[in-house]
Amino acid sequence: MKKLTLLFTLHLVAFFAFSQEIKETTFKSQIKEVTVFLTGAQVFESSSGQVSAGESFILIKGLSPYLDEKSIQVKGTGDFIIQAVNKRLDYLSEQKNGEKLQALQDSIDVIQRN
């Protein structure tokens, strides 16, 4: 009887531990408009997609790491509530540089070594 109670309790704990998992949905944004100032820039980006019912994290990939967290503004249309907006750096995925950018970086490295 004790083994059955222990087994039931472990299954119940495992069920509740995994039932509270929040889904993550990833979107890629596209730049719509850019205004350049002397001390920075204002970038308007847009993304669209479907989010399942319930609580979800929405990740927008490809944003600049130099983004000022205080300047982020998010809005959307539909029957939902935005609870919070946070900036998080992704240290695990590797950013690929274009050929021109890589050539410029190599030139800078050569100049610095000389």
Residue 7 lies in a domain: no
pLDDT in tens, 10-40: 665 666 666 567 788 888 888 899 999 998 8
Q: How far is CA 1 from CA 6, 8, 9, 13, 14, in A?
A: 9, 11, 12, 18, 20
* Residue 46 in domain: yes
- Among the residue ranges 2-6, 23-27, 37-41, 79-83, the one predicted with the least confidence is 2-6
47 token code pair: 């993304």
Domain count along the chain = 1
Residue 36: both structure tokens together: 């350049």
Q: Report if residue 44 sits inside a domain.
A: yes
pTM over 0.85: no
Instruction: Domain of residue 97: give its range.
Output: 22-113
Rounded distance, CA 11 to CA 9, Å? 5
- Identify whether 8 is part of a domain: no
First to last CA, the chain: 79
